[in-house]
Amino acid sequence: YTVLVEGDGTGDPIAEESRGILDGHVILSRAIAARSHFPAIDVLQSRSRVMDAVVSGTHRKAASIFRELLSRYVAWMSRLTA
């Protein structure tokens, strides 16, 4: 299923319920798109509930390290541009 929600979707009961029951969700970011980064997927907000069951341990570890590094990068960039 695909559920498209205008804005960030918070407060929308259908979007919130969908996030609770679907296997995963991809969050698109206006801020990322404004930087001409396409597809504008917010990796830190997006989730997959089945990833652990379908990827190798090496892939899972690499994804975890990448998410941690991306999180640190985003935090530092927000401090630098504030």
Q: Give the DSSP letter string of 20-33.
A: HHSSEE--B-HHHH
The CA distance from 31 to 64, in Å, is: 23
pLDDT of residue 9: 64
pLDDT in tens, 4-44: 887 766 778 888 888 888 888 888 999 999 999 999 999 99
Joined together, the tokens standing for residue 26 give 């991809």
